[in-house]
């Protein structure tokens, strides 16, 4: 049998729970990005803090390692040229790269909440594959490959055509039948 995977928290809660300014700013972010809860904000801030920590550790390292790190961030979609750009990143920059945000910005949904619903209901394709994770980070390569899945139109069964003398008679539907009243 294999070893048990050690589960770690992907975020940390705020130290001061009832800080009015923080709560107001988080509420604005939740509305703007259509997030389910504030835990998603905390996860984004945690990811950005990890990236910042890596950048600080890269300061004394070689230019090749820095270039590799910057390339990785540029592939994700951040415009990074030096360490000061990395240190200037915020949680909102990370939230901008989510699939949910891209579906809304491409006008595939009327609101961020509808974008989330479309994603969860498996109606969104990324590079031809169904993705049902709203927090999926969209790289630069995949930005233009986001599409809505085409819906199959269900046709109502019509009455079977009547055959007279070997000829098939096609019956036209009147307005009431088209609207489903009869």
What is the reported pLDDT for 8? 87
pLDDT confidence band for 70 (50 / 70 / 90): very high
DSSP states along 90-148:
-HHHHHHTBHHHHHHHTTSSSSHHHHHHHHHTT-EEETTEE---TTPBPPGGGGGGEEE
Average pLDDT over residues 6-15: 89
pLDDT number for residue 101: 97
Percent of the chain past pLDDT 90, that is, above it, reads 71
pLDDT at 160 over 60: no
* Residue environment code for 81-96, b if the CB has 16+ CB neighbours within 10 A, otherwise e: eebeebeebebeebbb
Give the containing element (helix H, strand E) for 28.
Answer: helix 20-33
Within 10 angstroms of residue 171's Cβ, the number of other Cβ atoms is 11
Query: What pLDDT is recorded for position 155?
Result: 59
* pLDDT tens digits, 71-115: 999 999 999 999 999 999 999 999 999 999 999 999 999 999 999
pLDDT tens figures, 32-68 = 999 999 999 999 999 999 999 999 999 999 899 999 9
| Total-model pTM | 0.77
What is the per-residue pLDDT for 156?
61
pLDDT at 157 > cutoff 80: no
Domains and CATH numbers, the chain: 10-97 (no CATH), 98-152 (3.10.290.10)
Please write the tens of the pLDDT for every residue from 122-153.
Answer: 999 999 999 999 999 999 999 999 999 987 66
């Amino acid at each position: 049998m294999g070893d048990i995977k050690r589960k770690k928290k992907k975020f940390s809660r705020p130290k001061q729970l009832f800080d009015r300014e923080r709560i107001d700013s988080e509420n604005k972010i939740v509305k703007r990005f259509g997030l389910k809860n504030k835990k998603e904000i905390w996860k984004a801030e945690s990811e950005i803090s990890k990236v910042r920590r890596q950048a600080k550790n890269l300061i004394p390292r070689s230019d090749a390692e820095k270039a590799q790190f910057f390339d990785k961030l540029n592939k994700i979609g951040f415009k990074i040229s030096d360490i000061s750009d990395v240190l200037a990143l915020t949680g909102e920059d990370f939230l901008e790269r989510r699939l949910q945000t891209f579906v809304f910005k491409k006008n595939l949904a009327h609101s961020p909440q509808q974008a989330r619903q479309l994603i969860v209901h498996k109606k969104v394709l990324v590079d031809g594959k169904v993705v049902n994770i709203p927090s999926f980070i969209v790289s630069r390569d995949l930005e233009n490959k986001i599409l809505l899945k085409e819906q199959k139109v269900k046709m109502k069964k019509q009455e079977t055509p009547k055959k007279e003398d070997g000829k098939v008679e096609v019956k036209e539907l009147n307005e009431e039948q088209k609207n489903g009243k009869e």
